[in-house]
Amino acid sequence: MHVSLALMFVYTTGLLYQCSSINPAPENCLNYESTYHITRACDCVVYQSYGLNNGIFTSPNFPQFYPSNINCILYSFIGDASEIIELTFMSFDLKMPDPSGRCGDYVRIFQNLERPEVNEHSQYDLEFCGGYSSIPKTVFSAGRSLVLEFHSDFRVGKPGNYTGFKGNYQFLDKRNYLITGSRVEGHKCMFDFHSNISHHSGRFFSPGYPQDYKPNSSCRFRFFARLGERVRLLFTNIQLHHIDASCRDSPDVITVYDGTNESAPVIGEFCGVHNAEEVISTGTNLFVAFTCDDRNQKQGFAASYEFINKISTQNNGVRSIKNDSNSAMPTSSSQFQCNENMDSRSHRNGTISSPFYPEPYPSNIRCRYIFTGGGRERIQLRFLHMDLHVPREPTSAVDCKEADSVSVYIVINGKTEVLNTWCGRKLPPMLMSSQHNMIVEFQSLHSSKSVTGFKAQYSFVTNFGIHEGQQDNRGMCVFNYQSSVKSSGEITSPNYNGLYPRNTECHYLFYGRGKERVQIIFVDFDVDGLTPRCEESTYSDYVSFSNFAETEDRKMTRLCGQPPAEKREIWSDGPFFRVIFKSNEMYDSTGFQAYYQFKGPQDEHEEEGNPHGTIIERDRKRNSGNTAYNSSERKHMAGYLTLASMTSLTVACLTLGLFLLPPRLA
């Protein structure tokens, strides 16, 4: 039934202050060559741009119940030639769909219109009903026009108990969403970006951004800096289909390669939802690949790029560090300068210390040590000495508030987060950054002739502190273990003997021969998480297992927390096996140490009748006297690996660090 003009007038009077030229009436429906509004018996409301303006739109009677029997209301949004439209729903309450999923009352969105009208051939892009949690909160047009259609079913008697919707519209400059590179001829979605005298920075996006990307989209972006420059990317918004699993198992993923194509080392891999993710090349080129499947499309990503000569420390989070103490503390005097910037190109490793170490340090100072790397580099920090003045011996970080202290900051999702604060004489655990940057801040409040300060050793590492296995450049943190190279050995979480880094994912891939299986026994395990499911919804870090290369194995149970001994022995079904470690943004712990063994049927048969323990345990006893290396003598393994050349690898030495594990932080 056609909604009355009187009703339309009542419902639109509240909108006229936003667009005073709007005259809501059926004759205002845009009908260049269309009879849609006549066939559908529509009333129309038009929102015309007056230069990037915005306003409110609502259903009839909002926030009261909307009437039934509204056959059709068309909300037409018309921008200038260089504009697109953004609709953001702030409230949404329509009748729920029936058991078959059909919407009786509905909102339909036409977001890909060539001109501001719909006709009998126009296909709507979105249809939704129900509650706020079930709808997309924001939608965008492809061009200057967007039409929203609202309909409510015929119902006898009173209207339903539904309040309808309220939203905000905004006209945006679509030039802000144009890719500033050049399209490669012959390719639908490949762009090149070259540094030159007049071009130093720009933007690039997933296809169709800010609209959702299309099914089976595939795009490539190639960046070419000049000699001496590097490429810096900042993904300001990433909205991809999210699953509670590894990024390598996700069908929608952004992969960043440190070179000109997909054969270069991977230095960035993003899936799910992220903000302000930074990637910096080690050389003059970067290659970005975006792929998705045919389901669950999301908004995609927006990113900026910059060709840089020198990494700036002005945007790496230093300015966002908050401190409640006196901000006027000096950082230098005529006798010392204690702020330092360490760039991995010139300082790959070294030491930092308090002023005048090992002599007493001055009072009332603040020193900042800023570390910035590139590629897949992480900063590993080991404290060698700690002797800071405290009014009383601390029992927790809270007690350091009025003491001289060292704080360590890491960057996660573009925000600088304090990892922890330490004071007194107790050595902090070995630490690792979550990205290629870290900040250490030393603050002294007191003067004492009896304290000697602190000293710490830093290293920019690319192996995540994992010292056994062949690192695979096809992933950020991927290590291969082959039976043809070594039949048994050790695997550890990243930065083991210290705290594992936050927001980190590592893969351990085992390649056996013939009918071999992989046995893994965890001898140390402390991964922060809530058992028994170890799910992302409970903010759990976890270790998972799979007999498949690119999908999660649902019959294998995740491990987190401190599992009992009977759950610490894991077997593969066949010669291939994958172990995945994944940490979130919030917590950390000491991680795991495990021994692996490739076993054929004969090995398993012999072990069944062996009263002296497993092969792994016997090997540990036999080899225990043969290695006496400390951490500085460990042999780091690196290089490329392809499936075709796995047999060409050499055996690496198995070494164990001789450092005591620090107590777990609260």
**Residue that wins the pLDDT comparison between 485 and 611:** 485
Give CA–CA dist 338/352, Å, rounded: 10
Share of the chain above pLDDT 70, in %: 79
396 has pLDDT over 60: no
Whole-number pLDDT of residue 422:
94
Whole-number pLDDT of residue 316:
43
Give CA–CA dist 638/633, Å, rounded: 16
Q: Mapping DSSP to helix (H, G, I), strand (E, B) and coil, where does residue 5 land?
A: helix
Contact of 267 with 476, CB cutoff 8 Å: yes
421 has pLDDT over 70: yes
Whole-number pLDDT of residue 643:
34
Whole-number pLDDT of residue 195:
96
Q: Mapping DSSP to helix (H, G, I), strand (E, B) and coil, where does residue 601 land?
A: helix
At CA 42, angle to CA 41 and CA 43, rounded to 5? 135
Write the pLDDT tens digit of every residue in 233-257. Answer: 999 999 999 888 888 888 999 999 9
Write the pLDDT tens digit of every residue in 290-305. Answer: 999 998 899 999 999 9
613 has pLDDT over 90: no
394 has pLDDT over 70: no
Give CA–CA dist 336/322, Å, rounded: 24
What Cα–Cα distance (Å) separates residue 277 from each residue in 59, 118, 235, 654? 39, 40, 5, 35
Write the pLDDT tens digit of every residue in 183-205. Answer: 999 999 999 999 999 999 999 99
Give CA–CA dist 259/403, Å, rounded: 47
Which are the contacts of 344, defined by CB distance < 8 A and separation ≥ 6?
371, 372, 373, 374, 377, 436, 460
The helix or strand, by DSSP H or E, that contains position 431, with its residue range, turns out to be strand 431-432
Of 118, 136, 116, nearest to 126 (Cα)?
136
Helix extents (H) in 251-300: none
Using pLDDT thresholds of 50, 70 and 90, give the confidence band for residue 338.
confident
Using pLDDT thresholds of 50, 70 and 90, give the confidence band for residue 43.
confident
Average pLDDT over residues 475-495: 97
597 has pLDDT over 80: yes
Contact of 442 with 338, CB cutoff 8 Å: yes
Whole-number pLDDT of residue 247:
85
Using pLDDT thresholds of 50, 70 and 90, give the confidence band for residue 433.
very high
- Residue 454: DSSP 8-state: E
Write the pLDDT tens digit of every residue in 137-179. Answer: 999 999 999 999 999 988 766 667 899 999 999 999 999 999 9
259 has pLDDT over 80: yes
Contact of 267 with 289, CB cutoff 8 Å: no
Contact of 231 with 280, CB cutoff 8 Å: yes
328 has pLDDT over 90: no
CA 3 to chain centre: 48
Whole-number pLDDT of residue 13:
34
8 has pLDDT over 80: no
Contact of 426 with 386, CB cutoff 8 Å: yes
Of 604, 599, 560, 559, nearest to 577 (Cα)?
599
